[in-house]
Structure 1
Amino acid sequence: MPKVLISDALSDAAVQIFRDRGIDVDFQPQLGKDKEALAAIIGNYDGLAIRSATKATEKLIAEATNLKVIGRAGIGVDNVDIPAASKKGIIVMNTPFGNSITTAEHAISLMLAVARQIPEANASTHAGKWEKSRFMGVELTGKTLGVIGAGNIGSIVIDRARGLRMKVVAYDPFLSEERATELGVEKLELDALLARADFITMHVPLTDQTRNILSRENIAKLKPGVRIINCARGGLVDEEALADAIKSGHVAGAAFDVFAEEPATESPLFNLPNVVVTPHLGAATTEAQENVALQVAEQMSDYLLTGAVTNAINMPSISAEEAKVMGPWVALAGHLGNFVGQMTDEPITAINVLYDGQVSGMNLQALNCSVIAGIMRKVNPDVNMVSAPVIAKERGIKISTTRQDQSGAFEGYIKVTAVTAQRERSVAGTVFSDGKPRFIQIKGINIDAEIGQHMVYTTNDDVPGIIGLLGQTMGDNDVNIANFTLGRSAKNGEAIAILYVDDAVPEKTLDKLRATGKFNQVKALEFDMA
Structure 2
Amino acid sequence: MKIIVTDEVTGEGLALLQRDPRITLDLRPGIPREELLEIIGGYDAIITRSGTTVDKALLDAAIRLKVVARAGVGIDNVDVECASAKGVIVVNAPFGNTNAAAEHTLALLLAACRKVPAAQASLKGGDWKRAKFTGVELRGRTAGVIGIGKVGGRVAARLKAFECEVLACDPYVSAKRAQDLGVRLVDLDELCRTCDIVTVHTPLTDETRGLIGAAEIARMKPGVILLNVARGGILDEAALLAGLESGQVALAAVDVFSEEPPATDTLKRLVAHERVVVTPHLGANTQEAQVNVAVDVSREILAWLDKAPLENAVNLPRFDAALMGQMRPWFRLMAILSEFGLQLMKGNLDRATFGYAGGLSHHDCTPLTVSGLAALLDRMVEQPVNMVNAGLIAEQMGLVVEEHKSTEGGPFSNLVTLTLEGGGSSRVVAGTLFEGTPRIVRLRDYAMDFTPQEHMLLLHYEDKPGRIGRIGTVLGAHDVNIAFLNLGRREKRGEAMVILSVDSPVPPAVVAEIGRETEAGFIKALHLPSAAGIG
User: TM (normalized to structure 1)?
Assistant: 0.79
> Which residue is 1:427 aligned to?
429
Match of 2:431, SS? strand
> Which residue is 1:11 aligned to?
10
> Which residue is 1:383 aligned to?
385
CA shift at 1:475, angstroms?
4.8
CA shift at 1:178, angstroms?
4.7
> Which residue is 1:330 aligned to?
331
Q: For the residues of structure 2 that align with 1:289 and 1:490, how far apart are their CA atoms?
A: 66
Counterpart of 1:14 in structure 2: which amino acid?
Answer: G
> Which residue is 1:289 aligned to?
290
Residues 464 and 302 (structure 1), Cα distance of their counterparts in 2 relative to 1, 3 Å cut: closer
CA shift at 1:236, angstroms?
2.5
Residues 161 and 343 (structure 1), Cα distance of their counterparts in 2 relative to 1, 3 Å cut: same
1:195 aligned to which of 174, 179, 193 = 193
Residues 63 and 96 (structure 1), Cα distance of their counterparts in 2 relative to 1, 3 Å cut: same
**Pairing 1:69-80 to 2, within 5 Å after superposition:** 69-80=67-78
CA shift at 1:161, angstroms?
2.0
> Which residue is 2:231 aligned to?
233
CA shift at 1:153, angstroms?
1.3
Residues 37 and 241 (structure 1), Cα distance of their counterparts in 2 relative to 1, 3 Å cut: closer
Counterpart of 1:201 in structure 2: which amino acid?
Answer: T
The two structures, once aligned, show a CA RMSD in angstroms of 4.5
Q: For the residues of structure 2 that align with 1:323 and 1:198, how far apart are their CA atoms?
A: 41
Percent of paired sites with the same residue: 36
CA shift at 1:193, angstroms?
1.8
CA shift at 1:197, angstroms?
0.5
- Which blocks of at least 5 consecutive residues in structure 1 are unaligned? none
Counterpart of 1:348 in structure 2: which amino acid?
Answer: D
Counterpart of 2:226 in structure 1: which amino acid?
Answer: I
CA shift at 1:477, angstroms?
8.7
Residues 207 and 458 (structure 1), Cα distance of their counterparts in 2 relative to 1, 3 Å cut: farther
Counterpart of 1:180 in structure 2: which amino acid?
Answer: A
Q: For the residues of structure 2 that align with 1:525 and 1:130, how far apart are their CA atoms?
A: 85
Q: For the residues of structure 2 that align with 1:164 and 1:130, how far apart are their CA atoms?
A: 29
Contact kept, 8 Å, 1:33 with 1:54, in 2: the verdict is: no
CA shift at 1:372, angstroms?
1.7
257-266 or 146-155, which deviates more: 257-266
1:415 lines up with 2:414 in the alignment:
no
Contact kept, 8 Å, 2:352 with 2:400, in 1: the verdict is: yes
Contact kept, 8 Å, 1:32 with 1:53, in 2: the verdict is: no
CA shift at 1:221, angstroms?
3.6
CA shift at 1:294, angstroms?
3.9
Number of residues of Structure 1 aligned to a counterpart in Structure 2: 525
Match of 1:227, SS? strand
Counterpart of 1:407 in structure 2: which amino acid?
Answer: G
> Which residue is 1:159 aligned to?
157
Residues 19 and 240 (structure 1), Cα distance of their counterparts in 2 relative to 1, 3 Å cut: closer
Residues 246 and 321 (structure 1), Cα distance of their counterparts in 2 relative to 1, 3 Å cut: closer
Q: For the residues of structure 2 that align with 1:120 and 1:180, how far apart are their CA atoms?
A: 36
436-445 or 19-28, which deviates more: 19-28
> Which residue is 1:140 aligned to?
138
CA shift at 1:239, angstroms?
4.1
Q: For the residues of structure 2 that align with 1:216 and 1:399, how far apart are their CA atoms?
A: 46
Contact kept, 8 Å, 2:430 with 2:442, in 1: the verdict is: yes
> Which residue is 2:446 aligned to?
445
Q: For the residues of structure 2 that align with 1:285 and 1:110, how far apart are their CA atoms?
A: 15
Match of 1:480, SS? coil
Counterpart of 1:346 in structure 2: which amino acid?
Answer: N
- Which blocks of at least 5 consecutive residues in structure 2 are unaligned? none
Q: Deviations over 1:54-76 (max 9, x none)?
A: 44455655676776544332222
CA shift at 1:428, angstroms?
0.1
Contact kept, 8 Å, 1:356 with 1:414, in 2: the verdict is: no
> Which residue is 1:370 aligned to?
371
Match of 1:271, SS? helix
Q: For the residues of structure 2 that align with 1:81 and 1:391, how far apart are their CA atoms?
A: 19
Q: For the residues of structure 2 that align with 1:175 and 1:320, how far apart are their CA atoms?
A: 17
Counterpart of 1:195 in structure 2: which amino acid?
Answer: R
Counterpart of 1:487 in structure 2: which amino acid?
Answer: G
1:348 lines up with 2:350 in the alignment:
yes
> Which residue is 1:28 aligned to?
27
Contact kept, 8 Å, 2:300 with 2:311, in 1: the verdict is: yes
